[in-house]
Structure 1
């Protein structure tokens, strides 16, 4: 039941989303990015739900995954706009941390090829007891690293949305064809019950 090409592709896409989301969740935890942490957790749960629905032929679960894929694309588009400072957004704001942390992105403080400088923490002594560092002369700015992460998520989510719609339509067509063939037709039951009554009528006419 279900075309293996579509189902297998959707399974691979869900697995890829799960791995990349877990990787992203780790670095968001390290950077104290509380808003992304919350959204990533929901994403991981829904992707697992989509995996289960694809394996167990549950179209409703796949529909939930497809709806969330559209929301996930919207969220990652916002993250890209945030780090590129589009529409008045500022990547130095505390929007993604809910004003609970002075950290920004883990990649800002630990980017590859960055020269780090200790920042004064006199006013931040009560926050986590950690010194913040700022990166300079990085090989790749932290904002572009976050944009690349979100772009990858958008690409995989769009593919997942397309294939989830395809798999749901395939399941629906196969269920309709099963009903048409007679999967729920009561006629076979009526046909089976008709034979004993015919035999009884023949016995009634037999000579004593």
Structure 2
């Protein structure tokens, strides 16, 4: 088999998805975004399962991966709608943090080119206590960075879905061929025994 088979491509795609999900997980941890952290964690587990299924020729694991990619696309479409404030959603709510904290996306204050203007601590305040006044000069607004992350996840998932379906169909054909070959071998063995008798 050549290296450009569907199976090999799915392995590479799963590796790309893992790298992308781990990168996203890091930035969601930095922003205390608990809902995306849980989603990314599940995604990483299922991608590893899909990778294992692809390497070990386990079509059922690849089927789980295929179903998950459809759910993952749905989640990322929701994230895009959330940050673009589509359908009554607001990026300023605590939905992504489960109302546990007031943190927002890490990219809000640390995006490319962003300059934070801080108010120094008050005389009776803590030395580490900073109140952010404003963030200016961002090359790309944070919501668009989040949308780009989700769009990349959607693209990888859609391509992964197609390759996973292809690998499942190929492995099912191989199983059918294998069972057919066993029946042919059994039939030939029985005929050979009859000839010997």
2:171 aligned partner: 171
1:143 equivalent in alignment to 2:143: yes
1:21 equivalent in alignment to 2:21: yes
Cα RMSD between the aligned structures? 2.6
1:92 Cα deviation after fit: 0.7
Matches of 1:121 and 1:103, distance apart in 2: 20
1:192 Cα deviation after fit: 5.4
Task: Tell me the SS of whatever aligns to 2:135.
Answer: strand
Matches of 1:119 and 1:195, distance apart in 2: 96
Q: Structure 1 residues 135-144 or 28-37, which shifts more?
A: 135-144
Matches of 2:36 and 2:97, distance apart in 1: 8
Matches of 1:130 and 1:76, distance apart in 2: 35
Task: Tell me the SS of whatever aligns to 1:87.
Answer: coil
1:134-178 CA distances to partner (integer Å, 9 max, x unpaired)? 422311100000000000000010000001001100111111122
Q: Judging changes above 3 Å, is the alpha-carbon distance between structure 1 residues 103 and 121 closer, same or farther for their aligned structure 2 residues?
A: farther
Q: Structure 1 residues 39-48 or 2-11, which shifts more?
A: 2-11
1:59-98 CA distances to partner (integer Å, 9 max, x unpaired)? 0000000000000000000000000000011101000000
1:49 Cα deviation after fit: 0.4
Alignment gaps of 5+ in structure 1 = 199-208
1:156 aligned partner: 156
1:114 Cα deviation after fit: 1.2
Alignment gaps of 5+ in structure 2 = none
Equivalent pairs counted in the alignment come to 192
1:86 aligned partner: 86
Task: Tell me the SS of whatever aligns to 2:51.
Answer: helix
1:106 equivalent in alignment to 2:106: yes
Q: Judging changes above 3 Å, is the alpha-carbon distance between structure 1 residues 82 and 119 closer, same or farther for their aligned structure 2 residues?
A: farther
**Rg larger in structure:** 1
Task: Tell me the SS of whatever aligns to 1:116.
Answer: strand
Contact 1:46–1:68 (8 Å) recurs in 2: yes
Contact 1:82–1:91 (8 Å) recurs in 2: yes
Matches of 1:81 and 1:101, distance apart in 2: 22
Q: Judging changes above 3 Å, is the alpha-carbon distance between structure 1 residues 120 and 91 closer, same or farther for their aligned structure 2 residues?
A: farther
Contact 1:111–1:135 (8 Å) recurs in 2: no
